[in-house]
Amino acid sequence: MSLGLTLALLAAAAVLAVFAGWRGARKPDPFKGPRLIPWRAIMLTSAAMALLLLVHVVNLLGVTTGR
């Protein structure tokens, strides 16, 4: 993957993590019914993806992170 594509995916994953964190922290509204989207799971998944993409960006910039 190129650096530009990796940075774009990193930004998208970070924005999704922040948005899902905001939606997951809202109080439930019993009049609207149960939440049908697992916002906290989406937040954790996108934050983990952002971390992996950040490591990939560091590797693309020349820093060795593995053996």
pLDDT digits (tens, 9 = 90+) for 6-40: 999 999 999 999 999 999 999 888 898 888 899 99
pTM over 0.95: no
pLDDT, tens digit, for every residue of 50-65? 999 999 999 999 998 7
Q: What is the C-alpha separation between 27 and 8, in angstroms, rounded?
A: 31
Nearest residue to 15 via CA among 48, 57, 47: 47
Structure tokens at 15: 């924005």
